[in-house]
């Protein structure tokens, strides 16, 4: 097919034809869909050259903002709902499997490995909170030996990596479930926080009048051979942002009550001299396809 004198649909068809010889079937399918959708978008909205240039500049700056510490392109995918769309397509196990949600930018490899019952807060500001977790298989039998990464923001709404003056990890840890499936740790009660707003994604939210807020949550990643890796959060019931999450990550089974207690003996035997919170949650893992 000639590449000369083309416009509108004939141009789209010529570009599709130019990729028709792509040897990898899946790559050919993906490239074709990208071309079709991009051309259809431009035609539908009658894209001006100024708008095209603005979009190129926005994407360029989004890419330039990325570093080892920051992934602005994934953040863009998150606020466009693309991340949750992809998660929905790839993690569609029905209940009682715990739903997956966005990974987020604040996971750090190599968090401190702590024993059950320890305090992962490391001095982070916030009210103490005892998390009592359990991991189960699909048939609800307990799963021991599950590696569980936990990370969260403090009550200022900040992750440790967002402080410039911290030299040790805070509010993150790696734990292991016992044979009875239980794992537990002390932390601080999480609070809602805004996603990073000082880059192009913040501009986009501002220009569209959207809130950057996420409802309070604790991140969990649970891994055991023979089971699908679970990346999820547990959200605080009653949070004002549960229905307006900036990244569309809330699923109802992930919401659980956090209960406030007066000073006294906590469920794990710790003597608490101040008020504190407790939360219980069960993570249910799906068997992996290769089982």
Place of tokens 């547990």: 234
Residue whose CB is less far from Fe ion, 104 or 126? 104
Residue 124 binds to ligand BEZ (criterion: CB under 6 A): no
Q: How far is the CB of 127 from ligand BEZ (least distance, A)?
A: 20
62: helix, coil or strand? helix
Residue 214 binds to ligand BEZ (criterion: CB under 6 A): yes
Residues in region 85-104 near ligand BEZ by CB under 6 A: 102, 104
In the complex, which residue's CB is closest to Fe ion?
Answer: 104
247 binds, among Fe ion, ligand BEZ, none (CB under 5 to 8 A by kind): ligand BEZ
Residues near Fe ion (CB under 5 A) are: 104
Whether the CB-CB separation of 227 and 137 falls below 8 Å is answered with yes
Report CA-CA distances (Å) from 107 to 95, 116, 171, 173, 205: 26, 20, 11, 10, 23
SS3 content of the chain, % helix, strand, coil (to 5): 25, 25, 50
Among 84, 120, 234, 247, binds ligand BEZ (CB under 6 A): 247
Place of tokens 């991140």: 219
Residue whose CB is less far from ligand BEZ, 111 or 143? 111
In the complex, which residue's CB is closest to ligand BEZ?
Answer: 104
Residue whose CB is less far from ligand BEZ, 104 or 122? 104
Considering only CA atoms, give the Rg of the chain.
23
Q: How far is the CB of 78 from Fe ion (least distance, A)?
A: 11
Report CA-CA distances (Å) from 106 to 68, 102, 169, 180, 182: 12, 11, 12, 30, 25
Q: How far is the CB of 203 from Fe ion (least distance, A)?
A: 21
Q: Which residues bind ligand BEZ (CB under 6 A)?
A: 75, 78, 102, 104-106, 195, 214, 247
């Amino acid at each position: 097919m000639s590449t000369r004198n083309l416009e509108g649909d004939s141009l789209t068809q010529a570009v599709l034809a130019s990729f028709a010889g792509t040897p990898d079937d899946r790559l050919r399918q993906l490239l074709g869909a990208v071309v079709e959708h991009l051309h259809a978008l431009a035609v539908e909205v009658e894209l001006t050259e100024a708008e095209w240039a603005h979009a190129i500049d926005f994407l360029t700056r989004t890419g330039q903002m990325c570093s080892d510490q920051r992934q602005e392109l994934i953040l863009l995918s998150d606020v466009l709902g693309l991340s949750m769309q992809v998660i929905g397509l790839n993690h569609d196990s029905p209940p009682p499997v715990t739903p997956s949600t966005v990974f987020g930018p604040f996971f750090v490899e190599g968090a401190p490995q702590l024993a059950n019952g320890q305090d992962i807060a490391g001095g982070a500001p916030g009210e103490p909170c005892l998390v009592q977790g359990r991991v189960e298989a699909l048939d609800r039998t307990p799963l021991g030996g599950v590696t569980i990464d936990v990370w969260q923001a403090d009550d200022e709404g900040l992750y440790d990596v967002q402080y410039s003056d911290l030299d040790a990890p805070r509010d993150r840890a790696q734990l292991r479930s016992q044979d009875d499936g239980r794992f537990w740790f002390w932390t601080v009660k999480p609070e809602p926080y805004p996603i990073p707003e000082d880059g192009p994604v913040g501009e986009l939210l501002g220009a569209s009048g959207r809130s950057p807020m996420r409802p309070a949550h604790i991140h969990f990643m649970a891994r055991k051979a023979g089971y699908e890796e679970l990346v999820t959060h547990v959200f605080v019931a009653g949070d004002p942002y549960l229905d307006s999450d900036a990244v569309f990550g809330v699923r109802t089974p992930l919401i659980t009550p956090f209960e406030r207690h007066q000073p006294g003996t906590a469920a794990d035997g710790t003597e608490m001299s101040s008020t504190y919170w407790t939360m219980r949650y069960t993570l249910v893992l799906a068997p992996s396809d290769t089982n």
